[in-house]
Amino acid sequence: MENKKTVKTGIRYAVYILFTVTGFVLAILENIFVPQIAADFENKKYALGSFVLSINRAYRIFLFLLIIFYIAVGIFSYLKENRQANYIKKAKFRFACGVALGIWDLFGTKLMYFPQPFFPGPAKILEAFLMESGYILENTLYSLRLFALGFSLGVIFGVGTGILIGWFDKVYYWLAPVLNISGVIPAVAWMPFALTIFPTPFSGAVFLIVICAWFPIASLTAQGIQSTPKSQFDAARTLGGNTVYLLFHVAVPHAMPQIFMGISSANAFAFTTLVMAEMLGQPGGLGYYINTSKVWSAYYKVFAAIIVMAVLFSLIMKGIGAIRGYVLRWQRGLVK
C-alpha cells in the first residue's frame, strides 16, 4: 500500500515537472515553426570558439538550458518534502513564463509588432551577450564591488547606530532627530556633495549607498531594541546578567527580526541608488552600461543589463533570506 502511494506521488510530481517545462517547449516550437514575417529582423551569426551560432539558435539553446535546469531542480526538490511543495507551487508561474517568452518572441521578433528599437525580441536581447559578454561581465563585477562595499558598510553603520539609539537615552536624544531628518532625503540628492567631497567617483558612490542603507536599518534596529519586553531584562538580571549581557544576549537577539527587515528594505534602496550613481558619474557598472547603450539607441543592450540586474538582485535577496533563515531558525513553526 505504501509503495503504491509513493508511486502515485512520484507520477503526480513528474506531471508537475512536465507542466513546468511545457511552456518553454512551446516557446522553442514557436521560434522554430513560426516563419519570420517582419523583414527588418537580421538573424546575425556569431562565432563562439569553433561554434557559429545565429541569435535565433542561441535563443533556442538558452530555452533548452532552462528546460534542463528546471528538470534538474525538480529532481533535486523531490528528495525533500518542503522543496517538493515549493516546486509544485511555482509550476504554474514557470509555465506562464515559458508561454510569455513565446508570445514575446512572436510579437517582438517574428512580427516586430512592438515599437522598434525600443522593445526588441528575446533573441535580439541575447545578442548583447553574444557580442560583448566580456564587457558585460566587467561592468557586472564593477557593480558588485561597488554594491558589496557600500552595502556592507551601510549594514555595519546602520546596525551600530540603531543599537546606540535604541539602548542609550542620551544617544537617542542627539542622534534620533538627525536620523529622522536625513532619512527622508533621497540618497541621490546627496550626489552633488558626494562628487565634490570625495576624491573619486567610486568613493562618492559608496557614500551614497551607505547613506540610503543606513536609515532603514538604523531605524528598525532601534525599534527592535526599544521594543524588548522588560520581563526579559528582569529575568536576565535575576540570572546575574550585566549591562553588556542584557544588550547583546537579550536586546539584540530580540531585535533580529526587525534588523533583517531593515536589511531587506535597504537592499532594494541600495540597488536603486547603485544604478543611478553609475548612470550619473561612474566609469563602469551596469548603470554606466545602460547609459552608454541608450546613447547609441542599443536598447537590446539596455534590456540585457536590466536582466542581469534582476538576476543579481534576486540572488542577493536569496542570500539575505538564507542568512535570515539561519539566524532566526528559532522562529520556524512559530511564524508564517
The alpha-helical segments, DSSP class H, found in the chain are 2-33, 55-78, 81-89, 91-105, 122-167, 169-183, 191-197, 201-226, 230-238, 243-246, 252-281, 286-295, 299-327
Give CA–CA dist 63/266, Å, rounded. Answer: 33
The answer to whether residues 105 and 122 touch, using CB atoms and an 8 Å cutoff, is yes
User: Which pLDDT does position 2 carry in this prediction?
Assistant: 55
User: Which pLDDT does position 305 carry in this prediction?
Assistant: 94
Contacts 24+ apart (CB under 8 A), 32-36: 32/60, 34/106, 34/110, 35/110, 36/109, 36/110
139 exposed, middle or buried (CB, 10 Å; 0-12, 13-18, 19+)?
Answer: buried
- Residue 104 makes CB contacts below 8 A (sequence gap 6+) with 121, 122
Q: What is the CA radius of gyration of the chain?
A: 25
- Residue 335: helix, strand or coil by DSSP? strand
User: Which pLDDT does position 282 carry in this prediction?
Assistant: 82
41 exposed, middle or buried (CB, 10 Å; 0-12, 13-18, 19+)?
Answer: buried
User: Which pLDDT does position 11 carry in this prediction?
Assistant: 84
The answer to whether the bond into 216 is cis (omega within 30° of 0) is: no
**Blockwise average pLDDT, block size 10, the chain, 336 residues:** 66 90 96 90 83 90 95 89 88 95 94 89 93 93 94 94 92 88 79 83 90 92 92 87 88 92 91 85 88 90 94 92 86 64
Report the 3 state secondary structure along 32-71: HHCCCCCCCCCCCEEEECCEEEEHHHHHHHHHHHHHHHHH
Domain boundary assignment for the chain: 2-114, 133-331
Question: How far, rounded to the nearest angstrom, does the alpha carbon of residue 268 sit from its chain's CA centroid?
Answer: 8
Is the alpha carbon torsion for 46, 52, 56, 57 positive or negative? negative
Give CA–CA dist 188/183, Å, rounded. Answer: 12
C-alpha cell at 192: 552633488
User: Which pLDDT does position 333 carry in this prediction?
Assistant: 60
11 exposed, middle or buried (CB, 10 Å; 0-12, 13-18, 19+)?
Answer: exposed
Closest of 68, 87, 101 to residue 307, by C-alpha: 101
Class of domain 133-331: mainly alpha
Q: Is the overall model pTM greater than 0.85, yes or no? A: yes
- Residue 198 makes CB contacts below 8 A (sequence gap 6+) with 204, 207
Give CA–CA dist 30/109, Å, rounded. Answer: 11
CB count within 10 Å of CB 242 equals 9
User: Which pLDDT does position 1 carry in this prediction?
Assistant: 52
Give CA–CA dist 221/183, Å, rounded. Answer: 14
Residues 51-67 as b/e (b if ≥16 CB within 10 A, e otherwise) read eebbbbbbbbebbeebb
Is the alpha carbon torsion for 221, 223, 225, 227 positive or negative? negative
User: Which pLDDT does position 197 carry in this prediction?
Assistant: 86
